[in-house]
Amino acid sequence: MPASWRRHEVVPRYFLNLRYRGRLFVDEEGDELADEQRMHEHVLDTARDLVSHARMGSIRNWFDCSFEVTNQAGRIVLVMPFAEIANAASAGTPSLTDGQLPA
């Protein structure tokens, strides 16, 4: 493929909708990510960041959350429970052992 064609390639947009118990927080903007591997890495990194840094009164335990990732067509392409970030720790990343937020 000529290099000039690559400028016009469409980068997929994924929406990281957050499920907490019975509530769904919809991602209205989405993220452009080159492929499914990059999307999976982005979802995992975002979940880790939320567990370790975010404080929201409406979410008391981040490990009760999951991302329901949809593509531009609205089809669910990945469901990732936040509890899975502990499994990723065995791949060499620091473990997050407590998803409880202070009261």
* Domain membership flag for residue 4: no
Give the Cα separation of 75 and 93 in Å (integer). Answer: 30
| Residue 59, pLDDT score | 81
| Residue 91, pLDDT score | 52
* Domain membership flag for residue 21: yes
Write the pLDDT tens digit of every residue in 38-65.
999 999 999 998 888 877 777 888 889 9
| Residue 58, pLDDT score | 74
* Domain membership flag for residue 73: yes
Stronger pLDDT, 9 or 100, i.e. the higher one: 9
* Domain membership flag for residue 38: yes
* Domain membership flag for residue 49: yes
* Domain membership flag for residue 98: no
Write the pLDDT tens digit of every residue in 80-92.
999 887 666 545 4
What's the total number of domains in the chain? 1
Question: How far is the CA of 101 from the CAs of 24, 56, 63, 91, in angstroms?
Answer: 20, 9, 10, 25
Tell me whether strands 65-70 and 13-20 are parallel, antiparallel or unpaired: antiparallel
| Residue 102, pLDDT score | 32
Alpha helix ranges (H) inside 1-103: 3-6, 36-53, 84-88
Q: Give the range of the structural domain holding residue 32, as residue numbers without chain letter.
A: 9-91
